[in-house]
Amino acid sequence: MRSKRVDELALVLRKAREAAAGPFAQAVAGELEGIGMGEGEFRVELSAQATGPRLTGADTVAFQIRPNHGLPFAPVAETASGGELSRIALAIAAVGGGETLVFDEIDAGIGGQTAHAVGETLERLATRAQVLTITHLPQIASRADRHFRVEKLPGDPTHTRIDPLGEPERRTKFSACSAARSS
């Protein structure tokens, strides 16, 4: 049997989530629009957990997007392509933040102007957090303060070697390096 205090705390958490859901969704939508996700239609759906309160509260939180006009909103996990998932993760990180953000091939499925927009967003994030990005796109790598070559070394087991690139190598190796930027 649940205690009255658990129910009270679950209600406080639900009210806080309800208050934050709209502004959070609006901020994420703005970020999505800036990185090539059309109208940036994004929303947060809250629903009560059938089993009652758990450690994370009594709600289920789902992120939904509308990938194209005329389509209904649908869960991100069921609707977004790999490239879209990367950009949604970037938009959420841009809004929610953290002290260290790691993006592994955030450039999946993008190019051209969208790659420039993603690079600008990563650079903006790096003014307030340490941002590590593994990328193959020069539009993104060129915005970094530091670059590293990451190599897999064959063997049993396989090892990875990471070497910092000097200024001459930075200019010639963007397509084969990982970019890192720290605040």
For the entire predicted model, the pTM comes to: 0.77
Beta strands in 3-82 (DSSP E): 42-48, 59-65, 74-75
Euclidean distance between CA atoms 101 and 89, whole angstroms: 10
Q: Is the per-residue pLDDT at 165 higher than 50?
A: yes
| Measured CA angle at 132 (ends 182, 63), to 5 deg | 120
Closest CA to 61 of 74, 44, 75: 44
pLDDT tens digits for range 107-146: 877 778 888 889 999 999 999 999 998 888 888 888 888 9
Q: State the chain's mean pLDDT as an integer.
A: 84
* pLDDT value, residue 173: 58
Euclidean distance between CA atoms 40 and 76, whole angstroms: 12
- Mean pLDDT for 141-154 is 89
Least confident range from 10-24, 26-40, 142-156: namely 26-40
Query: Domain ranges in the chain?
Result: 1-81, 97-183
**Is residue 182 very low, low, confident or very high in pLDDT (cuts 50, 70, 90)?**
very low
- Could you give the percent of the chain with pLDDT greater than 70? 91
| Selected residue with higher pLDDT from 134 and 170 | 134
| Selected residue with higher pLDDT from 52 and 180 | 52
Give the homologous superfamily in CATH for domain 97-183: P-loop containing nucleotide triphosphate hydrolases (3.40.50.300)
